[in-house]
């Protein structure tokens, strides 16, 4: 008997059949990531021209801010360190480039078990989450990380003491903060989903705004790779702005739900 749009499709596959499908999907995802990672590895000069750009005043963010000329000298302290960093950065680039395909494979695996309306909802949620993660990564690359690098890289207690930064420290900070900011930017999506489920309202978020600020400072202190106040402020500000944006989104969704109830 054919199913309607609101009915869940009949699935006759066994557990082991599902496991085989999942294994095939994981193999395809790994192959695609590997292909892009190898391409990124081979394009070493282009890859590290992007990765190392924030260490110099020629970077676009510094030019817009009219920052005085500076350039940080990075040093290597290990025999295999540069090669391992090259591989790790290439894998991260491969994951980032292949992420749309990874999401497609995951959705194709779970979609047969969803209702038609659940599929549409899942597409919107996953699409919004993916876009917010990319926005978080870009915000870190163009705003948070450059400001952190400029402040900490040029800070001196005395002109007689020069800064010697390691490549390992630079890459670890960039990749770590990119991942963290990508996750943090999921806050509006999470709040919107909770509002859709009736678990969150804009009035509640506004009432506990002061508590949220304290929580944001604590979270920023935990995820900040350094212990200085400047970096803490740079990381906390985007999170607070996301909280305010989330209030607006939750308020809009609350009004939409009320309108639907009145029309019914």
Q: Positive or negative CA dihedral for 97, 47, 142, 172?
A: positive
The contacts found for 45-54 with CB under 8 angstroms, 24 or more apart, are 47/89, 47/90, 47/93, 48/86, 48/89, 51/89, 51/171, 51/174, 52/170, 54/141, 54/145, 54/146, 54/149, 54/174
pLDDT recorded at residue 137: 94
Distance, CA of 26 to CA of 102 (rounded, Å): 9
pLDDT recorded at residue 108: 85
pLDDT recorded at residue 12: 64
Q: Positive or negative CA dihedral for 35, 41, 43, 46?
A: positive
Distance, CA of 187 to CA of 183 (rounded, Å): 8
What pTM does this model have? 0.81
In this structure, are residues 165 and 73 in contact, taking their beta carbons and an 8 Å threshold? yes
Q: What 3-state class would DSSP assign to 149?
A: helix
β-strand pairing of 74-75 with 165-166: parallel
Total Cβ atoms within 10 A of residue 217? 16
pLDDT recorded at residue 257: 66
Distance, CA of 49 to CA of 72 (rounded, Å): 14
In this structure, are residues 182 and 133 in contact, taking their beta carbons and an 8 Å threshold? yes
Of 47, 44, 73, 71, the C-alpha closest to 59 is 71
What the block records as the tokens of 103 is 């999401």
What the block records as the tokens of 97 is 């480039």
What the block records as the tokens of 51 is 């990765």
Dihedral class, residue 155 (left if φ above 0, else alpha if ψ from -120 to 50, else beta): beta
Q: Positive or negative CA dihedral for 191, 197, 199, 203?
A: positive
In this structure, are residues 99 and 130 in contact, taking their beta carbons and an 8 Å threshold? yes
- Write out residues in the chain with pLDDT < 50, as ranges: 1-10
Distance, CA of 111 to CA of 122 (rounded, Å): 9
pLDDT recorded at residue 91: 95
Q: Positive or negative CA dihedral for 110, 111, 115, 118?
A: positive
First to last CA, the chain: 31
């Amino acid at each position: 008997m054919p199913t309607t749009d609101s009915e869940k499709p009949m699935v006759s596959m066994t557990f082991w059949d599902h496991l085989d499908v999942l294994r095939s999907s994981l193999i395809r995802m790994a192959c695609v990531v590997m292909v892009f990672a190898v391409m990124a590895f081979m394009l070493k000069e282009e890859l590290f021209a992007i990765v190392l750009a924030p260490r110099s005043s020629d970077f676009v963010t510094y030019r817009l801010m009219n920052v005085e000329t500076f350039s940080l000298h990075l040093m290597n302290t290990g025999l295999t360190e540069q090669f391992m960093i090259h591989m790790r950065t290439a894998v991260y680039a491969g994951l980032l480039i292949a992420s749309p395909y990874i999401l497609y494979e995951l959705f194709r695996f779970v979609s047969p078990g969803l209702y038609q309306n659940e599929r549409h909802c899942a597409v919107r949620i996953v699409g919004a989450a993916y876009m917010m993660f990319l926005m978080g990564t870009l915000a870190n690359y163009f705003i948070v990380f450059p400001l952190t690098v400029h402040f900490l890289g040029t800070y001196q207690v005395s002109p007689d003491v020069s800064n010697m930064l390691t490549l390992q420290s630079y890459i670890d900070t960039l990749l770590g903060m990119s991942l963290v900011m990508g996750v943090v930017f999921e806050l509006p999506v999470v709040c919107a989903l909770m509002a859709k489920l009736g678990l969150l309202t804009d009035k509640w978020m506004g009432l506990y705004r002061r508590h949220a600020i304290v929580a944001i400072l604590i979270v920023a202190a935990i995820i900040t790779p350094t212990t200085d106040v400047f970096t803490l402020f740079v990381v906390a500000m985007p999170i607070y702005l996301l909280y305010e944006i989330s209030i607006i989104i939750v308020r809009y969704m609350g009004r939409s739900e009320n309108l639907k109830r009145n029309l019914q």
